[in-house]
Amino acid sequence: MIKIIAEVVRSKFDINGNRYYFATLTDTITGDSATGLLSGSESNISQALRRNGYEWEEFKVIVSELPIRQFDKITKKMPYMGCTDDEIMKFCYTEWNKKEN
């Protein structure tokens, strides 16, 4: 059963060859979601979920790409999710808990 859907959006490369990422993690049981900027790539999300007890078959990662200007426009006021496993999961649990209260 899929428990988490992770939608990762990456920018196309900027003029310096850098890419940027944001992700939305949705708990399929409660419907709660958390969206934020991400350091690293979609592998950071998979790693964070695996290290927090989710098995491979319990989550789905979907990756899409946007032109850099469109990405910048969307993420202008987006909060920072994190880079490490702990930062990413702490952000998600905090966001999910906000919506329950």
Q: Which tokens in the block code for residue 49?
A: 């979920």
CA pair distance 73, 49, nearest whole angstrom: 28
What is this structure's pTM? 0.89
Q: Which tokens in the block code for residue 88?
A: 């990413």
Q: What is the mean pLDDT of the chain?
A: 93
Q: What angle do CA 92, 93, 94 make, to 5 degrees?
A: 90
pLDDT for the residue 43: 87
pLDDT for the residue 12: 96
Residue 39 gets which letter from DSSP?
S
- 28 burial level (CB within 10 Å; 0-12, 13-18, 19+): middle
Q: Any idea how long the chain is?
A: 101
Pick from 80, 100, 75, 77: which is nearest to 90 by CA? 80
pLDDT band at residue 6 using 50, 70 and 90 as cut-offs: very high
